Amino acid sequence: HRRLPAVIPTPPVSASPFPNPKSQYCCLSRNFSAALTPLLPVQLPSRMETHLWYVVPDEVKSAPLLSKYMELLPQSERDHVLGFRGDQLQKSALLARTLVRTTIARYQVDGHLDPRSLRFKRNIHGKPEVEWETKDGFCPPPLQFNISHTSSLVACGVTMNSLIGIDVEEKRRRTKNNILAFAKRYFTAHEVEHLNAIPDSELQQQEFIKLWTLKEAYVKALGKGFSSSPFNTFTIRVNTAAQQASSGIAVETLDSPQNLTNNWQFALLELMGSHYVAICLERQETGGAGKAFPIKLTARKTIPSVEDELVSGTNAVVTIGGSVTQF
């Protein structure tokens, strides 16, 4: 996962996410118990459905709760979390791993799952996958997931059968230098021309972040990573002709620019009015005239093992690109 380059960092939080457990704590002006209680089970996503779960780190301020989250992780993951410099980055990394474990455990794919019992493996490019324990008569589900996080938002996408990549970026992030200079370094000529045609600097900045988010989601769906799929080797085209991609967002590789890569579809969302979220899915089937079915999206805001809220179809989740139906 490659974050936006050379950005002005978000101001650090004033207090450590791991303060003295005896200190007072609050979360959304409420005191939460530090005990982790399993929430209600959730059904696995249906065909062409995506579940999006997200956490707002600033809303998780309970030191005992964060300590409980740390206890869910094996030592190797704890070391990884503590290896980040700064409390804010450590907290974000901790919430990302906690969100993955507690979310997958809620799907009850093999009876009751303890988040601590989950094991993960990585492909040759580093993309994590669940390493299911082999048991007599147990057939691992074709569950796919992907995680993305900033200091201000942690998100996890879950699908069945379809490969998935997601990316989140803050709308207000700013590069230290000229947008077009960055675009020429990382983007294709078509994308640079697209940005250059936008006279308003603010709109140009927003369009740059949208493109970056979409490109990141595509690379993560491929499972290859930035080093194996540099951003300047493929073009994201937005508002393409309907016969090319029903979603209005498509990708083409430079080695075959005459053909769009139609086995991928995208969704671009605005979350809480403050973040862009891009989702890239592998298409499994099409509707009439070869058009892809809309992505079925169910979004939940959560505090792992404490509470969650269904936010699909509310002002918290707004579709700004792609063909999406929210449930």
pLDDT one-digit tens code per residue, 225-236: 666 678 999 999
Closest CA to 98 of 149, 23, 152: 149
Q: Which of 36-40, 150-154, 170-174, 242-246 has the lowest mean pLDDT?
A: 242-246
Say how many CA atoms lie within 13 Å of 78 toward its Cβ: 11
pTM of the predicted protein model: 0.86
**Is pLDDT of 74 > 90?**
yes
**Is pLDDT of 296 > 90?**
yes
Closest CA to 88 of 22, 11, 167: 11
Q: Residue type at 32? A: F
Higher pLDDT, 140 or 130: 130
**Residues 131 and 171 sit within 8 Å (Cβ to Cβ):** no
**Residues 81 and 97 sit within 8 Å (Cβ to Cβ):** yes
Q: What is the mean pLDDT of residues 145-162?
A: 95
Q: Tell me the H-state helices in 107-163.
A: none
